[in-house]
A and B are shown apart, each in its own frame.
Chain A
Amino acid sequence: MTKPLPHPNATTQPFWSGCQQGRFELQRCEACGHMQFPPRLACTSCHSGALGWVNASGRGTVYSFTTVYRAPIEAFKPDLPYIIAMIELEEGPRAMMNLRGADPERIAIGMEVEIFFEPPAADGGYPLPQARLRS
Protein backbone atom coordinates (compact mmCIF):
# COMPACT_ATOMS: atom_id res chain seq x y z
CA MET A 1 0.00 0.00 0.00
CA THR A 2 1.42 3.38 -1.02
CA LYS A 3 1.06 6.57 0.98
CA PRO A 4 -2.30 8.27 0.54
CA LEU A 5 -1.77 11.19 -1.83
CA PRO A 6 -4.08 14.16 -2.23
CA HIS A 7 -6.62 13.70 -5.00
CA PRO A 8 -8.19 17.13 -5.54
CA ASN A 9 -11.89 17.52 -6.23
CA ALA A 10 -13.92 20.51 -7.40
CA THR A 11 -13.89 22.01 -3.90
CA THR A 12 -10.20 21.54 -3.19
CA GLN A 13 -8.67 21.98 -6.67
CA PRO A 14 -7.89 25.70 -6.17
CA PHE A 15 -6.01 24.84 -2.96
CA TRP A 16 -3.86 22.15 -4.57
CA SER A 17 -3.28 24.27 -7.69
CA GLY A 18 -2.04 26.96 -5.30
CA CYS A 19 0.40 24.47 -3.79
CA GLN A 20 1.80 23.89 -7.27
CA GLN A 21 2.57 27.63 -7.35
CA GLY A 22 4.10 27.55 -3.86
CA ARG A 23 1.06 29.15 -2.21
CA PHE A 24 -0.95 27.92 0.79
CA GLU A 25 -4.40 29.36 0.16
CA LEU A 26 -7.23 29.76 2.64
CA GLN A 27 -10.87 30.40 1.91
CA ARG A 28 -12.17 33.80 2.99
CA CYS A 29 -15.88 34.49 3.27
CA GLU A 30 -16.88 37.53 1.24
CA ALA A 31 -19.93 38.03 3.46
CA CYS A 32 -18.42 37.89 6.96
CA GLY A 33 -14.63 37.75 6.45
CA HIS A 34 -14.24 34.36 8.17
CA MET A 35 -11.11 32.47 7.12
CA GLN A 36 -11.27 28.70 6.89
CA PHE A 37 -9.37 25.52 6.13
CA PRO A 38 -9.88 22.79 4.90
CA PRO A 39 -11.82 24.08 1.89
CA ARG A 40 -15.62 23.81 1.92
CA LEU A 41 -18.54 24.80 -0.28
CA ALA A 42 -19.81 27.41 2.17
CA CYS A 43 -18.62 29.55 5.06
CA THR A 44 -18.65 27.52 8.28
CA SER A 45 -19.41 30.67 10.24
CA CYS A 46 -22.30 32.37 8.35
CA HIS A 47 -22.97 29.68 5.67
CA SER A 48 -22.68 32.14 2.80
CA GLY A 49 -21.61 30.46 -0.43
CA ALA A 50 -19.54 33.49 -1.48
CA LEU A 51 -16.01 32.31 -0.77
CA GLY A 52 -12.80 33.72 -2.14
CA TRP A 53 -9.20 32.52 -1.83
CA VAL A 54 -6.41 34.35 -0.09
CA ASN A 55 -2.74 33.52 0.06
CA ALA A 56 -1.73 32.73 3.64
CA SER A 57 1.48 34.21 5.01
CA GLY A 58 2.89 30.72 5.42
CA ARG A 59 3.77 31.45 9.03
CA GLY A 60 2.24 29.92 12.11
CA THR A 61 2.90 28.30 15.45
CA VAL A 62 2.84 24.75 16.80
CA TYR A 63 -0.61 24.27 18.37
CA SER A 64 0.07 20.63 19.20
CA PHE A 65 2.38 17.85 18.03
CA THR A 66 3.08 14.14 18.34
CA THR A 67 6.00 11.93 17.45
CA VAL A 68 4.66 8.84 15.72
CA TYR A 69 6.23 5.44 16.49
CA ARG A 70 3.39 3.25 15.20
CA ALA A 71 2.61 3.85 11.50
CA PRO A 72 -0.98 3.62 10.26
CA ILE A 73 0.12 1.72 7.15
CA GLU A 74 3.27 0.00 5.88
CA ALA A 75 4.16 2.90 3.57
CA PHE A 76 4.88 5.20 6.53
CA LYS A 77 7.12 2.71 8.37
CA PRO A 78 10.37 3.86 6.75
CA ASP A 79 9.62 7.40 8.02
CA LEU A 80 9.34 6.37 11.70
CA PRO A 81 9.62 8.20 13.96
CA TYR A 82 7.99 11.22 12.29
CA ILE A 83 6.33 14.28 13.72
CA ILE A 84 2.75 15.31 13.03
CA ALA A 85 1.97 18.84 14.11
CA MET A 86 -1.20 20.85 14.21
CA ILE A 87 -0.15 24.28 12.99
CA GLU A 88 -2.09 27.38 13.93
CA LEU A 89 -1.70 29.70 10.96
CA GLU A 90 -1.23 33.43 11.49
CA GLU A 91 -4.60 33.94 9.81
CA GLY A 92 -6.34 31.76 12.43
CA PRO A 93 -7.24 28.37 10.89
CA ARG A 94 -5.32 25.24 11.89
CA ALA A 95 -3.74 22.77 9.45
CA MET A 96 -2.06 19.40 9.91
CA MET A 97 1.50 18.99 8.63
CA ASN A 98 4.61 17.01 9.31
CA LEU A 99 7.17 19.04 11.18
CA ARG A 100 10.40 18.34 9.30
CA GLY A 101 13.99 18.63 10.44
CA ALA A 102 13.13 19.16 14.12
CA ASP A 103 14.42 17.27 17.14
CA PRO A 104 11.33 15.69 18.75
CA GLU A 105 12.82 16.29 22.20
CA ARG A 106 13.06 20.03 21.60
CA ILE A 107 9.67 20.83 20.11
CA ALA A 108 7.28 22.87 22.21
CA ILE A 109 3.81 24.22 21.74
CA GLY A 110 3.98 27.82 20.54
CA MET A 111 7.18 27.44 18.50
CA GLU A 112 7.18 29.46 15.29
CA VAL A 113 7.07 27.55 12.02
CA GLU A 114 6.90 28.27 8.32
CA ILE A 115 5.32 26.29 5.53
CA PHE A 116 7.37 24.79 2.73
CA PHE A 117 6.36 22.41 -0.04
CA GLU A 118 7.64 18.89 -0.46
CA PRO A 119 7.86 17.86 -4.10
CA PRO A 120 5.22 15.39 -5.32
CA ALA A 121 6.04 11.72 -4.80
CA ALA A 122 4.99 10.89 -8.36
CA ASP A 123 4.67 12.63 -11.71
CA GLY A 124 1.46 14.60 -11.92
CA GLY A 125 1.11 14.64 -8.14
CA TYR A 126 0.80 17.69 -5.95
CA PRO A 127 3.39 19.24 -3.66
CA LEU A 128 2.53 18.64 -0.01
CA PRO A 129 2.60 21.60 2.37
CA GLN A 130 4.86 20.87 5.35
CA ALA A 131 6.20 22.78 8.32
CA ARG A 132 9.70 23.55 9.56
CA LEU A 133 10.87 25.60 12.52
CA ARG A 134 11.67 29.25 11.75
CA SER A 135 15.20 30.07 12.70
Chain B
Amino acid sequence: MPSPVITGAADTEVGKLEGSTSLGLQAQAAMAAVEDAGLSLAEIDGVLCAYSFTEPHLMLSSVVSEFLGIAPSYSVAVQAGGATACAQLVHAAALVESGRCRHVLVVCGDNRLTGMTRDRAVAALSEVGHAQFERPYGISVPSAYALVARRYMHEYGVTLEHLAGVAVAHRKNAMRHPKAQMREPITLEDVARSRPISTPLRLLDCCLISDGGAAVVVSAADAARDTRKPGIAILGTGQMNTHEHIVAAPSFTDFGCKQSSAQAFGRAGIKAADIDVAEIYDSFTITLLAELESIGFFGRGEAGPAILSGALDLDGKLPCNTHGGLLSYAHSGAAGGMFHVVEAVRQLRGEAAGRQVANARLGFVHGDGGILSVHFSLVLGRL
Protein backbone atom coordinates (compact mmCIF):
# COMPACT_ATOMS: atom_id res chain seq x y z
CA MET B 1 0.00 0.00 0.00
CA PRO B 2 1.42 3.46 -0.87
CA SER B 3 2.51 5.46 2.16
CA PRO B 4 0.59 8.39 3.62
CA VAL B 5 2.13 11.70 2.67
CA ILE B 6 2.94 14.95 4.45
CA THR B 7 1.70 17.55 1.99
CA GLY B 8 1.94 20.74 4.04
CA ALA B 9 4.13 21.93 6.90
CA ALA B 10 4.55 25.27 8.64
CA ASP B 11 5.43 26.93 11.88
CA THR B 12 4.75 30.40 13.22
CA GLU B 13 7.33 32.84 14.49
CA VAL B 14 8.75 31.44 17.73
CA GLY B 15 10.18 32.85 20.93
CA LYS B 16 8.64 35.70 22.87
CA LEU B 17 5.48 36.69 20.99
CA GLU B 18 3.74 39.39 23.01
CA GLY B 19 -0.03 39.28 22.67
CA SER B 20 -0.08 35.78 21.19
CA THR B 21 -2.61 33.20 22.32
CA SER B 22 -2.58 29.43 22.19
CA LEU B 23 -5.61 29.30 19.93
CA GLY B 24 -4.25 32.04 17.70
CA LEU B 25 -0.89 30.29 17.27
CA GLN B 26 -2.62 27.00 16.47
CA ALA B 27 -4.86 28.67 13.89
CA GLN B 28 -1.96 30.59 12.35
CA ALA B 29 0.12 27.42 12.02
CA ALA B 30 -2.87 25.48 10.68
CA MET B 31 -3.67 28.04 7.99
CA ALA B 32 -0.03 28.24 6.97
CA ALA B 33 0.30 24.46 6.69
CA VAL B 34 -2.90 24.18 4.63
CA GLU B 35 -1.67 27.01 2.40
CA ASP B 36 1.71 25.30 2.08
CA ALA B 37 -0.11 22.19 0.86
CA GLY B 38 -2.01 24.25 -1.68
CA LEU B 39 -5.31 23.16 -0.14
CA SER B 40 -8.21 25.09 1.30
CA LEU B 41 -9.43 24.67 4.87
CA ALA B 42 -12.69 23.29 3.45
CA GLU B 43 -10.76 20.29 2.11
CA ILE B 44 -9.56 19.30 5.60
CA ASP B 45 -11.66 16.38 6.82
CA GLY B 46 -9.64 15.41 9.88
CA VAL B 47 -8.20 17.50 12.72
CA LEU B 48 -5.81 16.26 15.38
CA CYS B 49 -4.88 18.70 18.13
CA ALA B 50 -2.65 18.33 21.18
CA TYR B 51 -3.00 20.21 24.49
CA SER B 52 -2.49 23.72 25.80
CA PHE B 53 -1.24 24.95 29.18
CA THR B 54 -2.47 28.51 28.72
CA GLU B 55 -5.91 27.72 27.26
CA PRO B 56 -6.61 24.20 28.47
CA HIS B 57 -9.87 22.66 27.28
CA LEU B 58 -11.42 19.22 27.51
CA MET B 59 -12.08 19.21 23.76
CA LEU B 60 -9.29 21.20 22.20
CA SER B 61 -9.70 19.80 18.68
CA SER B 62 -13.33 20.90 18.72
CA VAL B 63 -12.33 24.37 19.93
CA VAL B 64 -9.69 24.72 17.21
CA SER B 65 -12.02 23.46 14.46
CA GLU B 66 -14.73 25.87 15.58
CA PHE B 67 -12.22 28.74 15.58
CA LEU B 68 -11.04 27.83 12.09
CA GLY B 69 -14.64 27.54 10.88
CA ILE B 70 -14.35 23.96 9.73
CA ALA B 71 -16.45 20.86 10.44
CA PRO B 72 -14.12 17.87 10.02
CA SER B 73 -15.61 14.39 9.99
CA TYR B 74 -12.92 13.25 12.43
CA SER B 75 -11.46 15.38 15.20
CA VAL B 76 -9.78 14.50 18.49
CA ALA B 77 -6.97 15.68 20.73
CA VAL B 78 -3.93 13.49 21.33
CA GLN B 79 -1.78 13.73 24.46
CA ALA B 80 1.56 12.02 24.91
CA GLY B 81 3.67 14.81 26.42
CA GLY B 82 6.69 15.60 24.30
CA ALA B 83 5.90 12.67 22.02
CA THR B 84 2.55 14.21 21.09
CA ALA B 85 3.51 15.61 17.68
CA CYS B 86 4.92 12.29 16.49
CA ALA B 87 1.91 10.50 18.04
CA GLN B 88 -0.43 12.81 16.10
CA LEU B 89 1.43 11.97 12.88
CA VAL B 90 1.05 8.25 13.58
CA HIS B 91 -2.71 8.70 14.09
CA ALA B 92 -3.03 10.89 11.02
CA ALA B 93 -1.20 8.30 8.92
CA ALA B 94 -3.59 5.60 10.14
CA LEU B 95 -6.64 7.78 9.39
CA VAL B 96 -5.66 8.39 5.77
CA GLU B 97 -4.45 4.81 5.27
CA SER B 98 -7.77 3.42 6.46
CA GLY B 99 -9.65 5.69 4.07
CA ARG B 100 -11.48 7.49 6.87
CA CYS B 101 -9.89 10.84 5.95
CA ARG B 102 -8.17 12.36 2.90
CA HIS B 103 -6.45 15.40 4.40
CA VAL B 104 -5.75 15.48 8.13
CA LEU B 105 -4.62 18.71 9.77
CA VAL B 106 -2.25 18.05 12.66
CA VAL B 107 -1.72 21.13 14.80
CA CYS B 108 0.01 22.23 18.02
CA GLY B 109 0.70 25.57 19.62
CA ASP B 110 0.95 27.34 22.94
CA ASN B 111 2.08 30.72 24.24
CA ARG B 112 3.96 29.14 27.09
CA LEU B 113 6.45 32.00 27.46
CA THR B 114 4.19 35.06 27.55
CA GLY B 115 0.95 33.33 28.58
CA MET B 116 2.19 32.10 31.94
CA THR B 117 5.05 32.81 34.32
CA ARG B 118 8.19 30.70 34.17
CA ASP B 119 7.46 29.51 37.72
CA ARG B 120 3.98 28.43 36.68
CA ALA B 121 5.33 26.55 33.65
CA VAL B 122 7.89 24.71 35.79
CA ALA B 123 5.23 23.91 38.42
CA ALA B 124 2.74 22.67 35.83
CA LEU B 125 5.33 20.34 34.33
CA SER B 126 6.31 19.01 37.76
CA GLU B 127 2.74 17.75 38.14
CA VAL B 128 3.64 14.83 35.88
CA GLY B 129 5.57 13.43 38.87
CA HIS B 130 3.92 10.63 40.86
CA ALA B 131 1.59 12.30 43.38
CA GLN B 132 2.47 10.05 46.31
CA PHE B 133 5.91 8.65 45.55
CA GLU B 134 7.74 11.46 43.73
CA ARG B 135 6.16 14.89 44.20
CA PRO B 136 6.49 14.93 48.02
CA TYR B 137 10.28 14.83 47.42
CA GLY B 138 10.34 17.99 45.32
CA ILE B 139 10.74 16.35 41.91
CA SER B 140 10.64 18.42 38.72
CA VAL B 141 11.06 17.35 35.12
CA PRO B 142 14.69 18.58 35.05
CA SER B 143 15.42 16.68 38.29
CA ALA B 144 13.98 13.46 36.88
CA TYR B 145 16.16 13.81 33.76
CA ALA B 146 19.08 14.68 36.02
CA LEU B 147 18.65 11.30 37.75
CA VAL B 148 18.86 9.66 34.33
CA ALA B 149 21.88 11.78 33.43
CA ARG B 150 23.84 10.87 36.58
CA ARG B 151 23.22 7.15 36.12
CA TYR B 152 23.96 7.28 32.40
CA MET B 153 27.24 9.11 33.06
CA HIS B 154 28.15 6.49 35.67
CA GLU B 155 27.48 3.50 33.40
CA TYR B 156 28.95 4.76 30.14
CA GLY B 157 31.62 7.28 31.07
CA VAL B 158 29.68 10.26 29.75
CA THR B 159 31.21 13.52 31.00
CA LEU B 160 29.84 17.00 31.69
CA GLU B 161 31.72 18.14 28.62
CA HIS B 162 29.90 15.57 26.48
CA LEU B 163 26.57 16.95 27.71
CA ALA B 164 27.72 20.52 27.12
CA GLY B 165 28.76 19.52 23.60
CA VAL B 166 25.15 18.69 22.81
CA ALA B 167 24.06 22.19 23.85
CA VAL B 168 26.82 23.82 21.81
CA ALA B 169 26.00 21.74 18.72
CA HIS B 170 22.34 22.77 18.92
CA ARG B 171 23.23 26.44 19.26
CA LYS B 172 25.49 26.17 16.25
CA ASN B 173 22.58 24.75 14.25
CA ALA B 174 20.13 27.37 15.54
CA MET B 175 22.46 30.15 14.41
CA ARG B 176 21.77 29.05 10.83
CA HIS B 177 17.99 29.39 11.27
CA PRO B 178 16.70 32.95 10.98
CA LYS B 179 13.68 32.26 13.22
CA ALA B 180 15.48 30.49 16.09
CA GLN B 181 14.87 31.90 19.57
CA MET B 182 18.54 31.62 20.63
CA ARG B 183 21.16 32.60 18.06
CA GLU B 184 24.01 33.92 20.24
CA PRO B 185 26.98 31.56 20.02
CA ILE B 186 27.81 29.57 23.17
CA THR B 187 30.90 27.63 24.23
CA LEU B 188 31.45 24.59 26.41
CA GLU B 189 32.59 26.99 29.14
CA ASP B 190 29.34 28.95 28.87
CA VAL B 191 27.39 25.75 29.50
CA ALA B 192 29.67 24.80 32.43
CA ARG B 193 29.25 28.26 33.96
CA SER B 194 25.48 28.51 33.48
CA ARG B 195 23.26 28.34 36.56
CA PRO B 196 22.87 24.87 38.08
CA ILE B 197 19.28 23.61 37.78
CA SER B 198 19.52 20.05 39.07
CA THR B 199 22.99 18.51 38.99
CA PRO B 200 24.49 17.52 36.61
CA LEU B 201 22.12 19.63 34.47
CA ARG B 202 22.67 23.38 34.15
CA LEU B 203 20.51 26.01 32.53
CA LEU B 204 22.06 25.52 29.10
CA ASP B 205 21.45 21.76 29.34
CA CYS B 206 17.72 22.50 29.47
CA CYS B 207 15.21 23.26 26.73
CA LEU B 208 13.73 26.70 26.19
CA ILE B 209 10.28 27.95 27.11
CA SER B 210 8.70 29.59 24.06
CA ASP B 211 5.60 30.80 22.31
CA GLY B 212 4.92 29.23 18.96
CA GLY B 213 2.80 26.95 16.86
CA ALA B 214 3.40 24.34 14.18
CA ALA B 215 1.22 22.22 11.93
CA VAL B 216 1.36 19.71 9.12
CA VAL B 217 -1.16 18.22 6.72
CA VAL B 218 -1.11 14.45 6.26
CA SER B 219 -2.84 13.27 3.10
CA ALA B 220 -3.82 9.93 1.64
CA ALA B 221 -1.37 8.69 -1.00
CA ASP B 222 -3.82 9.27 -3.86
CA ALA B 223 -5.00 12.62 -2.48
CA ALA B 224 -1.43 13.93 -2.42
CA ARG B 225 -1.70 14.54 -6.17
CA ASP B 226 -4.04 17.50 -5.49
CA THR B 227 -1.40 19.34 -3.51
CA ARG B 228 1.15 21.96 -4.43
CA LYS B 229 4.54 20.56 -3.44
CA PRO B 230 6.19 17.16 -3.71
CA GLY B 231 4.92 15.07 -0.81
CA ILE B 232 7.08 13.64 1.93
CA ALA B 233 6.11 10.03 2.57
CA ILE B 234 5.61 8.59 6.05
CA LEU B 235 7.52 5.38 5.34
CA GLY B 236 7.48 3.85 8.80
CA THR B 237 6.25 4.55 12.32
CA GLY B 238 6.84 3.01 15.72
CA GLN B 239 5.91 3.42 19.37
CA MET B 240 7.00 2.10 22.74
CA ASN B 241 5.91 2.88 26.29
CA THR B 242 7.96 1.38 29.11
CA HIS B 243 6.81 3.40 32.14
CA GLU B 244 5.45 6.80 33.04
CA HIS B 245 7.22 7.81 36.26
CA ILE B 246 10.97 7.62 36.66
CA VAL B 247 10.46 5.66 39.91
CA ALA B 248 8.96 2.88 37.75
CA ALA B 249 11.45 3.02 34.85
CA PRO B 250 12.78 -0.45 34.06
CA SER B 251 16.15 1.03 33.10
CA PHE B 252 17.94 4.37 33.35
CA THR B 253 20.03 3.72 30.26
CA ASP B 254 17.89 1.73 27.84
CA PHE B 255 14.71 3.41 26.72
CA GLY B 256 11.69 2.68 24.52
CA CYS B 257 13.20 4.68 21.66
CA LYS B 258 15.16 1.51 20.91
CA GLN B 259 12.00 -0.47 20.11
CA SER B 260 10.01 2.40 18.58
CA SER B 261 12.83 3.28 16.18
CA ALA B 262 13.41 -0.40 15.33
CA GLN B 263 9.72 -0.70 14.41
CA ALA B 264 9.85 2.43 12.26
CA PHE B 265 13.06 1.37 10.50
CA GLY B 266 11.64 -2.14 9.98
CA ARG B 267 8.37 -0.89 8.48
CA ALA B 268 10.31 1.47 6.21
CA GLY B 269 12.68 -1.34 5.24
CA ILE B 270 15.80 0.62 6.18
CA LYS B 271 18.57 0.69 8.78
CA ALA B 272 19.56 3.50 11.16
CA ALA B 273 22.70 4.05 9.08
CA ASP B 274 20.55 4.91 6.01
CA ILE B 275 19.14 8.07 7.66
CA ASP B 276 20.38 11.30 6.05
CA VAL B 277 18.93 13.77 8.57
CA ALA B 278 17.47 13.28 12.06
CA GLU B 279 15.26 15.51 14.20
CA ILE B 280 15.22 13.96 17.66
CA TYR B 281 13.59 15.13 20.87
CA ASP B 282 16.10 17.13 22.92
CA SER B 283 14.34 18.35 26.05
CA PHE B 284 17.70 18.15 27.84
CA THR B 285 21.20 17.43 26.61
CA ILE B 286 21.03 13.98 28.25
CA THR B 287 17.74 13.25 26.45
CA LEU B 288 19.35 13.46 23.02
CA LEU B 289 22.51 11.66 24.07
CA ALA B 290 20.62 8.72 25.63
CA GLU B 291 18.29 8.50 22.62
CA LEU B 292 21.12 8.58 20.06
CA GLU B 293 22.80 5.66 21.83
CA SER B 294 19.62 3.71 22.69
CA ILE B 295 18.46 3.94 19.07
CA GLY B 296 21.86 2.81 17.89
CA PHE B 297 23.04 5.81 15.87
CA PHE B 298 26.14 5.69 18.08
CA GLY B 299 27.67 3.01 20.31
CA ARG B 300 27.36 3.33 24.09
CA GLY B 301 29.46 6.18 25.39
CA GLU B 302 30.41 7.18 21.84
CA ALA B 303 27.88 9.91 21.06
CA GLY B 304 29.47 12.46 23.41
CA PRO B 305 32.97 12.39 21.89
CA ALA B 306 31.51 12.17 18.37
CA ILE B 307 29.32 15.25 18.95
CA LEU B 308 32.35 17.20 20.21
CA SER B 309 33.97 16.30 16.89
CA GLY B 310 31.02 17.62 14.87
CA ALA B 311 28.96 14.46 14.31
CA LEU B 312 25.66 16.39 14.40
CA ASP B 313 26.78 19.11 11.96
CA LEU B 314 25.28 19.44 8.49
CA ASP B 315 28.14 17.38 7.05
CA GLY B 316 28.63 15.17 10.11
CA LYS B 317 27.87 11.47 10.59
CA LEU B 318 24.26 12.26 11.55
CA PRO B 319 23.06 15.79 10.79
CA CYS B 320 20.65 16.26 13.69
CA ASN B 321 18.27 18.93 14.95
CA THR B 322 19.29 21.16 12.08
CA HIS B 323 16.92 23.93 13.29
CA GLY B 324 18.48 24.01 16.77
CA GLY B 325 15.95 21.79 18.53
CA LEU B 326 14.19 22.43 21.80
CA LEU B 327 17.50 23.55 23.28
CA SER B 328 18.00 26.51 20.93
CA TYR B 329 15.20 26.81 18.35
CA ALA B 330 12.08 26.85 20.55
CA HIS B 331 9.93 24.72 22.83
CA SER B 332 6.27 25.58 23.21
CA GLY B 333 4.68 22.42 24.53
CA ALA B 334 3.51 19.91 21.95
CA ALA B 335 4.59 22.30 19.21
CA GLY B 336 8.18 21.72 20.35
CA GLY B 337 8.02 18.23 18.90
CA MET B 338 6.19 19.49 15.83
CA PHE B 339 9.07 21.88 15.04
CA HIS B 340 11.18 18.73 14.59
CA VAL B 341 8.63 17.36 12.11
CA VAL B 342 8.41 20.65 10.18
CA GLU B 343 12.21 20.85 9.99
CA ALA B 344 12.45 17.28 8.70
CA VAL B 345 9.94 18.10 5.95
CA ARG B 346 11.90 21.21 4.98
CA GLN B 347 15.16 19.26 4.86
CA LEU B 348 13.66 16.48 2.75
CA ARG B 349 12.08 18.99 0.36
CA GLY B 350 15.40 20.80 0.01
CA GLU B 351 13.86 23.99 1.42
CA ALA B 352 16.23 24.48 4.37
CA ALA B 353 18.12 27.41 2.91
CA GLY B 354 21.38 28.11 4.74
CA ARG B 355 21.20 24.86 6.69
CA GLN B 356 20.34 22.31 4.04
CA VAL B 357 21.76 18.80 4.43
CA ALA B 358 23.03 17.79 1.00
CA ASN B 359 20.96 15.11 -0.77
CA ALA B 360 18.69 14.48 2.21
CA ARG B 361 16.33 11.71 1.09
CA LEU B 362 15.57 9.81 4.31
CA GLY B 363 14.67 11.54 7.56
CA PHE B 364 14.06 10.28 11.09
CA VAL B 365 11.91 12.13 13.61
CA HIS B 366 11.56 11.07 17.21
CA GLY B 367 9.44 12.27 20.12
CA ASP B 368 9.84 11.44 23.79
CA GLY B 369 7.15 12.07 26.38
CA GLY B 370 7.40 11.98 30.17
CA ILE B 371 10.79 10.93 31.53
CA LEU B 372 11.89 9.01 28.44
CA SER B 373 8.63 7.12 29.06
CA VAL B 374 6.70 7.29 25.80
CA HIS B 375 8.43 7.13 22.44
CA PHE B 376 7.14 7.65 18.90
CA SER B 377 9.38 7.38 15.84
CA LEU B 378 8.83 8.32 12.21
CA VAL B 379 10.81 7.54 9.09
CA LEU B 380 10.09 10.09 6.38
CA GLY B 381 11.25 10.06 2.79
CA ARG B 382 11.26 12.16 -0.32
CA LEU B 383 8.94 10.61 -2.92
- A residues at B contact (CB < 8 Å): 1, 3-8, 12, 16, 37-38, 63-74, 76, 79, 82, 84, 86, 94-98, 104, 109, 128
B119 sits at the interface (CB 8 A): yes
Contact B137 A98 (CB under 8 A): yes
Contact A6 B195 (CB under 8 A): no
21 A–B contacts, CB within 8 A, in A order: A4-B131, A6-B136, A38-B245, A38-B248, A66-B149, A66-B150, A66-B200, A66-B201, A68-B143, A68-B198, A69-B195, A69-B199, A70-B198, A72-B125, A84-B139, A84-B143, A84-B147, A84-B198, A94-B247, A96-B133, A97-B137
B383 sits at the interface (CB 8 A): no
Distance of A61 from chain B, by nearest CB (Å): 12
Instruction: Please indicate the chain B residues that have their CB under 8 angstroms from the CB of A71 in the complex.
Output: 138, 140
Contact digits for B93-132, partner A, Cβ 8 Å, 1 yes 0 no: 0000000000000000000000000010011011001111
Instruction: Please indicate the chain B residues that have their CB under 8 angstroms from the CB of A8 in the complex.
Output: 132
Instruction: Please indicate the chain A residues that have their CB under 8 angstroms from the CB of B132 in the complex.
Output: 6-8, 12, 16, 38
Distance of B138 from chain A, by nearest CB (Å): 4
Cα distance A63–B246 in the bound complex, in angstroms:
12
Taking a contact as CB atoms closer than 8 A, the residue among B119, B122, B134, B142 that contacts A96 in the complex is: B134
Contact B122 A72 (CB under 8 A): yes
Using A7-B131, A69-B195, A70-B142 as known contacts, say yes or no to A96 and B150 having CB atoms under 8 A apart.
no
Interface residues of B in 206-261 (CB under 8 A from A): 245-248, 252
- How many chain-B residues does the 8 Å CB contact rule pick out? 38
Using A7-B132, A12-B132, A64-B148 as known contacts, say yes or no to A70 and B247 having CB atoms under 8 A apart.
no
Contact B138 A68 (CB under 8 A): yes
Taking a contact as CB atoms closer than 8 A, the residue among A7, A12, A67, A98 that contacts B199 in the complex is: A67
Taking a contact as CB atoms closer than 8 A, the residue among B129, B150, B200 that contacts A109 in the complex is: B150
Contact A84 B131 (CB under 8 A): no
Name the residue of chain B whose CB is nearest to the CB of A67: B199
Contact A65 B133 (CB under 8 A): no
Instruction: Please indicate the chain A residues that have their CB under 8 angstroms from the CB of B245 in the complex.
Output: 38
Contact B139 A95 (CB under 8 A): no
Instruction: Please indicate the chain B residues that have their CB under 8 angstroms from the CB of A70 in the complex.
Output: 122, 140, 142, 195-198
Q: What total of A-B pairs shows CB separation below 8 Å?
A: 111
Contact A72 B197 (CB under 8 A): no
Instruction: Please indicate the chain A residues that have their CB under 8 angstroms from the CB of B196 in the complex.
Output: 67, 69-70
Name the residue of chain A whose CB is nearest to the CB of B197: A70
Cα distance A3–B129 in the bound complex, in angstroms:
13
Give the 5 A-B residue pairs with the shortest CB-CB distance, closest first.
Answer: A72-B126, A66-B146, A72-B140, A64-B151, A4-B135
Contact B138 A76 (CB under 8 A): yes
Taking a contact as CB atoms closer than 8 A, the residue among B131, B150, B248 that contacts A65 in the complex is: B150
Contact A63 B151 (CB under 8 A): yes
Instruction: Please indicate the chain A residues that have their CB under 8 angstroms from the CB of B246 in the complex.
Output: 86, 96
Using A66-B143, A67-B199 as known contacts, say yes or no to A109 and B138 having CB atoms under 8 A apart.
no
Beyond the given A63-B151, A70-B195, could you list 4 further A-B residue pairs with CB under 8 A, ordered by the A residue number? A66-B150, A84-B139, A104-B199, A109-B151
Distance of A108 from chain B, by nearest CB (Å): 9
Contact B154 A109 (CB under 8 A): yes
Contact digits for B141-165, partner A, Cβ 8 Å, 1 yes 0 no: 0110011111100100000000000
Distance of B151 from chain A, by nearest CB (Å): 4
Cα distance A76–B209 in the bound complex, in angstroms:
22
Distance of A118 from chain B, by nearest CB (Å): 10
Contact A73 B123 (CB under 8 A): yes
Contact B151 A95 (CB under 8 A): no
Cα distance A1–B129 in the bound complex, in angstroms:
16
Name the residue of chain A whose CB is nearest to the CB of B201: A66
Instruction: Please indicate the chain B residues that have their CB under 8 angstroms from the CB of A64 in the complex.
Output: 147-148, 150-151, 154, 252
Distance of B242 from chain A, by nearest CB (Å): 11
Cα distance A38–B247 in the bound complex, in angstroms:
8
Cα distance A27–B337 in the bound complex, in angstroms:
38
Most buried by A among B132, B133, B147, B151: B132
Distance of A116 from chain B, by nearest CB (Å): 14
